[in-house]
Structure 1
Amino acid sequence: MAFDADEEILQDFLIEAGEILEKLSEQLVDLEQNPDDSDLLNAIFRGFHTVKGGAGFLQLDALVNCCHSAENVFDILRNHKRRVDSDLMDVVLEALDNVNAMFEQVRNHEEPTPAPDALIAALDAFAEPANHTAVTPPTSDAPADGGDITDDEFEQLLDALQGHDAPQGAAAPAPEAAGAADSSGDEEITDDEFEALLDQLHGKGQFSGAPEAGSEAANGGGADLVDAGSTGGDDLITDDEFEKLLDELHGKGGSPTSAAEAPDTGSRDPAPPPRAETKAATPDATPAAKTAPAKDTPPAGETTVRVDTKRLDDIMNMVGELVLVRNRLDRLGSASEDEQLQKAVSNLDVVTTDLQSAVMQTRMQPIKKVFGRFPRVVRDLARNLNKEVNLVMHGEETDLDKNLVEALSDPLVHLVRNSVDHGIEAPDVRERAGKPPMGTVTLSAEQEGDHILLAIEDDGAGMDPEKLRQKAVEKGVYDQDAADRLTEAECFNLIFSAGFSTKEQISDVSGRGVGMDVVKTKIGQLNGQINVKSELGKGSRITIKVPLTLAIMPTLMIMLGEQSFALPLVNVVEIFHLDLTKTNIVDGRECIVVRDRVFPLFHIKRWLVRNGDGDTTTGTAHVVIVAMGTRQVGFVVDQLVGQEEVVIKPLGRALQGTPGMAGATITGDGRIALIIDVPSLLQHYS
């Protein structure tokens, strides 16, 4: 492997090939649902072909061989010599897994491990034409493969251009054009060469310039080759126009590969000739006036630049420091009577907010980075469970912080697998219930203010609250009386308890009671909330709400004694004043009743402030209702300061791991405030 090659070239390959491989996973699953989609077949062929070409340049032979065998399969498929079926897709998806594994090895500067010989042999077997014709090529004039020509057809076209197999009655191309083709050293056709070929077919000067007003071409006539593009206004030749050109060369419906039974699978050339859609081979073919030659046009400047993510993180940290200074100046400006100072602070506030937003945008990635893996997950799991499942995705372009994109990956995989395994019923069960045999899992994302709302919904069996109550008693989570008092929402939330599962049999997919508790823990670590709704026989819906970014956090500043604390605003549900003499005791715990709802009440000052146990607050107090995952509780606090954006700073080595503390920040008045980790606080103290 040529790892000693230019590192920039390697990085370019990793970026381009990485994007292609992400798309291939989705495209292959789509193809199984739409086996006759010619555009999809061609796109997949091009994907494997492009990765193979880049790998060949870097001398990654193992990657080249696997991609080449997969490419041959799709060459057979797009030429309608075999039909897509589940067995073929199993082998191709296994090949993609191997390609992805080799790609990761290359990313880590390791020599890629070749794909198993059995896999390459299986691919080569599927690259042979089927014994019977699975698909009848279309009889219309349109090409069967959606407009692309094969490599052999392109070779024939080049031969015709260079005078080897010119159509009968056509003159050889101009010597200078042929010479240019011979000396170029590659197989791309130049504009001048293409013009010479058009002259052979239609006569000298047919496309040399714009037709005069009143001419046949100007009034809608002219050569058939350009009819389709005569009103388009661009200078690219269309697929239909190119196919007509091929008809001129090979006869109507003819093809240089029609007599061949299979492609040459022995070839391992990493960079076959480009196909007809390559823009380098598409000269000005419209009767409009020719534009200036491309060489006279200055090259367009690059619109993107590659930046290391660590540099973005450093910039984000500096913006965070700027936010802290802004908060401090804002507090000083409000206390000052100097009008000019207040104006300057106000301007600084606007600029800092805009800068903060712009830097955050540089860290944003579409959640499609996560969603893109689910079509394959659902396809493989449904096939393993003998179920029929359709995955629908919405809001794939919704952006959120790159760190959150990575952190949400595993929880969402758990939830999607749970919907397919627990939610969607077997086809015969669905039919007996009056449902279509194919179930639907819907995955959606949308931005809601400064948060992202994710939802996983299925039209499966739903959950039975009574069955969940029974399981809770069996597992010892609740006694019978406490279980009977649980609301339906509380019953549904039991699925997030560690070791809790309604599955009767343990399988390699589920049944051990691990997974959903991991989801709840992970979402809590992201300062997010998770909620479950379900209806027996109709399906379930799980919603997740997480902040757009973890770097700068909106908080509610509170005081406990003389110490400042910050509560993440995402956890805060509501605030009210309470008469502490009107609390109740339920199951030995102090509670309050608000609008017929019961909330456990905690005096967190006793946990977090020295000598807080001696607090004997009576009368009215401030109560903040906070949400921890699916639970809501009340915190008694001494004072409410207000909302403030803070930058999370890690605790020092001596304080790291302190229960209930997520970090620290500097407040607008210059004091240090500890940021409360609500789930950790309750888990440790309550």
Structure 2
Amino acid sequence: MAFDADDEILQDFLVEAGEILEKLSEQLVDLEQHPDDGDLLNAIFRGFHTVKGGAGFLQLEALVNCCHSAENVFDILRNHKRKVDPELMDVVLEALDYVNTMFEQVRNREELTPAPDELIAALDALAQPQGAEPASRAPEASSEPAEPGPASGDITDEEFEQLLDALHGQASDAGADSRSKPEREPPADSSDGSGSSSSDEITDEEFEALLDELHGKGKFAAKPAANTGAGATDTAGPAAKGDDDLITDDEFEKLLDELHGKGGSPTTGHSANEPAEAPRQNPGPVQPASETKPEPKPATDTAAKKAAPASPARDSAPAAETTVRVDTKRLDDIMNMVGELVLVRNRLQRLGSESENEHMHKAVSSLDVVTTDLQAAVMQTRMQPIKKVFGRFPRVVRDLARGMKKEVNLVMHGEDTDLDKNLVEALSDPLVHLVRNSVDHGIEAPDVREKAGKPRQGTVTLSAEQEGDHILLSIADDGAGMDPEVLRRKAVEKGIYDQDAADRLTDTECFNLIFAAGFSTKEQISDVSGRGVGMDVVKTKISQLNGQLSIESAPGKGSRIIIKVPLTLAIMPTLMIMLGDQSFALPLVNVVEIFHLDLTRTNIVDGRECIVVRDRVFPLFHIKRWLVKGAAGKAEPENGHVVIVAMGTRQVGFVVDQLVGQEEVVIKPLGRGLQGTPGMAGATITGDGRIALIIDVPSLLQHYS
């Protein structure tokens, strides 16, 4: 393992390989659904090949070996010598798990844990043509040692001699095919052969012959030169020299593939394995040597055409560099500075509103526009597509459905929807719980679905879309749905509600019971679900993100869970309120509606003060008694403002003294002395220069109510 390499090279490998491995999991599951997709097979082959190349450069032997064995499997698949089936995908996905594990070890600068020998052996077995006997492949295997080649980045002397043998073997084959015209062979090929046998250096003609093997005859001028002699060399020389003096990266990589790949030497690629090379090479130019004699001119034309676009492409490459890699800490620092600018803007707006100077108003308005645009631009740099989260679900659904013997199809929409990188990371675990829950609880077994008149294959739909400054995430299934009566009965059995209270629950409130701690409808506990822990974790996490949860379900038709979260957590829109003479900020995402209320017209339900609004009952809380010292013993006013806030799936009313208005705030962490204060998410500076505490609605209710 060579972690002493240039750190910049290692970081480049981590970035490139990380992106490839993220895609591979989704591509492999997609391939199982579309086994005949040639483009997908080639993309997966290239993915393993690229990771193998980078790992070989860093001398990560264990990673190279695993990727190489997987690459061989897809080489066989794309050459149509084996079919994709679930058993093959099980082995390949297990190999990908080990590749991901080793990749994380590289990221953490740890010693690599090689894949088990049994897994490598299983991959090597799948890299054989379907139904082929090992003995039938023995001659090919003996012609070139394929195993040690990929593990090292350098070509050995033995392999180089085999390359020369391949070139001369081709000459011998050509001579055998045209024994009726022996006078054509000795002038070129026999002299090359004698030269090679007496010298360790490869001649220009031999090297050009090798390029012809790779690209097909007719594209380079070496073969026509063997037909006549000086005349053909003069014709091809000027045109070919400009293009053949330098070998391109693609040509060199193909040369290494010829040496190290399972296809063996160029001789076998030209004769015995010609059908295997057909998908990668254009079979047209690969003709017997006799067909190349009358075509020296097209060879020079082809070389000239190939040379023409080569130089502009190299000249324009630097101009295509339009991206730059930036440490996320720098983006966080810039975002913090923009947050401070927002606070200054708020302060100036408040001062400007108190001034009658027209120029002041214009300057403050201009500052507001620039600050808003800057804030949006900086937030955009922190945005990532939610596909980074969605990309892992095809594998999750595939493995879970296969383990539970269900047939499930995952459909995803809105994968390009952008949201803050911190939210992308925070939403990963809750969404995994919800998707697993849909497959486990929602989708029925194929036989059950068939009896109910449904397709045997169930569908789980995962979608994302932007709505204003929020993201809506939806997880839906066409499974069994939820029965409110069953949920009521379970709530009574577990002591969450008594029978009378359970009977008064609406269907929506019954659906929300699945988020209660320890609540589960599973009769048997499995390694997937049944302990009543996962959905409680989901609710807690979404609440921490200032998000909301809602559920729709119909028995026999399926369920749909909707999550609403803000685009970013760095700058938060809030509703500023006053409790006594102290300022507080309520996250606007929690605010449902505001109205003025006669506080003498309240009701007591189950021992709790409530209000009725449009035939709906809301619990009422005087949060001033909790948050303002000395307010508990004072007489309450007869009228007050009530703010209806949502906490996950529950809505309650907060009584406040005064409504100040909407304001964007920057969350600042509380000092050491105040850290952990119940009901407080942080603090901010208001437009009038005051310090306001930001209320954490779920924590506030959990602690005080």
SS of the residue 1:544 aligns to: strand
- Measured after TM superposition, the shift of residue 548 of structure 1 is 0.4
Question: Shift in Å at residue 35 of structure 1?
Answer: 1.5
1:668 to 675, 678, 687: 687
Q: Aligned partners of 2:5 and 2:338: how far apart in 1?
A: 37
Alignment of 1:43 with 2:43, yes or no, is yes
Deviations 1:348-390 (A, max 9, x none): 1111111111111111111001000000000000000000000
Say which is worse superposed, 11-20 or 191-200, in terms of deviation.
191-200
The question of whether the paired residues in 2 share the 8 Å contact of 1:572 and 1:625 is answered with yes
Describe the SS at the equivalent of 1:5.
Answer: coil
User: 1:463-482: per-residue Cα shift (whole Å, max 9, x none)?
Assistant: 00000000000000000000
Matches within 5 A, 1:182-221: 182=207, 194=219, 196=221
Alignment of 1:478-517 (within 5 A): 478-517=497-536
Equivalent-residue separation in structure 2 for 1:410 and 1:567 (angstroms): 27
Q: Tell me whether 1:86 sits opposite 2:86 in the alignment.
A: yes
Equivalence for 2:24:
24
Q: Distance in 1 between matches of 2:686 and 2:281?
A: 63
Distance (Å, rounded) in 2 between the aligned partners of 1:90 and 1:288:
43
The separation in 2 between residues aligned to 1:184 and 1:341, in whole angstroms, is 79
3-state SS, counterpart of residue 665 of structure 2: strand
Q: CA deviation at 1:259?
A: 3.5
Q: 1:3 to 1:287 in 2, by over 3 A?
A: closer
Aligned residue for 1:445? 464
**8 Å contact from structure 1 (residues 577, 621) kept in 2:** yes
Partner of 1:603: 622
Corresponding residue SS for 1:297: helix
Code of the residue aligned with 2:85 in structure 1: it is: D
Correspondence 1:297 to 2:315: yes
Matched, 1:337 2:356: yes
Q: Deviations over 1:426-447 (max 9, x none)?
A: 0000000000000000000001
Deviations 1:502-544 (A, max 9, x none): 0011101101111000000000000000111100000000000
Structure 1: distance between partners of 2:496 and 2:344: 48
**2:501 aligned partner, one-letter code:** A
Q: Which moved further from structure 2: 416-425 or 355-364?
A: 355-364
Cα displacement string for residues 228-281 of structure 1 (whole angstroms, at most 9, x for unaligned residues): xxxxxxxxx9xxxxxxxxxxxxxxxx9937735999xxxxxxxxxx9669xxxx
Conserved 8 A contact 1:163-1:172: no
Cα pair distance change 1:21/1:373, threshold 3 Å: same
Matches within 5 A, 1:324-363: 324-363=343-382
Q: Within 5 Å, which residues of 2 pair with 1:46-195?
A: 46-131=46-131, 179=204, 182=207, 194=219
Task: Determine what percentage of the aligned residue pairs are the same residue.
Answer: 78
- SS of residue matched to 2:269: coil
Identify the match of residue 489 of structure 2 among 455, 460, 470. 470
Say if 2:492 and 2:498, in contact at 8 Å, map to a contact too: yes
Equivalent AA in structure 2 for residue 256 of structure 1: G
**Pair 1:623 & 2:642 matched:** yes
In structure 2, the CA distance between the partners of 1:506 and 1:34, relative to structure 1 (3 Å rule), is same
CA distance in 2 between partners of 1:131 and 1:521 (Å): 54
Counterpart-to-counterpart distance in 1, 2:595 and 2:94: 58
- Give the TM-score normalised by structure 2: 0.79
Contact 2:488/2:510 (CA < 8 Å) preserved in 1? Answer: yes
Which of 676, 679, 686 is residue 698 of structure 2 equivalent to?
679
Distance 2:131 2:464 in 1: 46
Aligned-residue offset at 1:655: 0.4
Following superposition, the deviation at residue 121 of structure 1 comes to: 1.2
1:12 — aligned with what?
12
Offset, 1:577: 0.5
2:77 is matched by which residue type in structure 1? L
Question: Are 1:408 and 2:424 an aligned pair?
Answer: no
In 1, Cα distance between equivalents of 2:32 and 2:539: 34
- Could you tell me whether the CA contact under 8 Å between 1:129 and 1:261 is conserved in 2? no
CA distance in 2, matches of 1:586, 1:609: 26
- Describe how 1:360-439 pairs up with structure 2 within 5 A: 360-439=379-458
> Which is worse superposed, 70-79 or 17-26?
70-79
Give the direction of change, closer, same or farther, for the CA distance of 1:288–1:413 in structure 2 (3 Å limit). Answer: closer
The secondary structure found in structure 2 opposite 1:614 is coil
1:497/1:297 CA distance change after superposition, 3 Å: same
| 1:259 counterpart residue number | 272
Cα distance in 2 for residues equivalent to 1:490 and 1:184: 77
Cα drift, residue 614 of structure 1: 2.4
What corresponds to 1:546 in structure 2? 565
Gap change, CA 1:11 and 1:288, over 3 Å in 2: closer
Aligned-partner Cα distance in 2 for 1:307–1:473:
55
How far did residue 346 of structure 1 move? 1.0
Q: Aligned partners of 2:408 and 2:670: how far apart in 1? A: 47
| Shift in Å, 1:198 | 10
- 3-state DSSP of counterpart to 2:318: coil
Report what 1:564 is aligned to.
583
**Kept in 1: contact 2:471–2:565 (CA 8 A):** yes
Distance of aligned partners of 1:535 and 1:292 in 2 relative to their CA distance in 1, 3 Å threshold: closer
Relative to structure 2, which stretch is displaced further, 347-356 or 462-471? 347-356
Match of 1:243 in 2: none
Instruction: Render the CA deviation track for 1:118-164: whole Å, top value 9, x for unaligned.
Output: 1111111111222179xxxxxxxxxxxxxxxxxx9xx99x969x989
Distance 1:638 1:130, change over 3 A: same
User: In 2 relative to 1, CA 128–674 (structure 1 residues): closer, same or farther, beyond 3 Å?
Assistant: same
What residue is the counterpart of 1:268 in the other structure?
A: none
> Partners in 1 of 2:484 and 2:420 — Cα distance?
36
Letter in 2 for 1:89: M
Larger radius of gyration: 2
Contact 1:31 1:40 (8 Å CA) reproduced: yes
* Contact 1:284 1:290 (8 Å CA) reproduced: no
Check whether the contact 1:14–1:107 (CA below 8 A) recurs between aligned residues. Answer: yes
How far did residue 40 of structure 1 move? 1.4
- What is the CA-CA distance between 1:87 and the residue it aligns to? 1.1
> How many pairs align?
603
How far is the alpha carbon of 1:338 from its aligned partner?
1.2
The answer to whether the Cα contact below 8 Å between 1:625 and 1:632 also exists between their aligned partners in 2 is yes
What residue is the counterpart of 2:149 in the other structure?
A: none
* 8 A Cα contact 2:167 2:206, kept in partner: no
* Structure 1 residues without counterparts, runs of 5 or longer: 134-151, 209-236, 238-253, 264-273, 278-282
Tell me how far 1:189 sits from its aligned partner: 7.9
Q: What letter is aligned with 2:318? A: A
Structure 2: which 5+ runs fail to align? 134-158, 179-183, 193-201, 227-231, 240-249, 251-266, 283-300
SS at match of 1:454: strand
The one-character-per-residue Cα deviations of 1:590-632 (angstroms, maximum 9, x if unpaired) are: 1011111000000000000011202322322110000000000
AA matched with 2:479: G
Match of 1:589 among 585, 602, 608: 608
Cα separation, 2, equivalents of 1:471 and 1:610:
42
Letter of the 2:399 counterpart: D
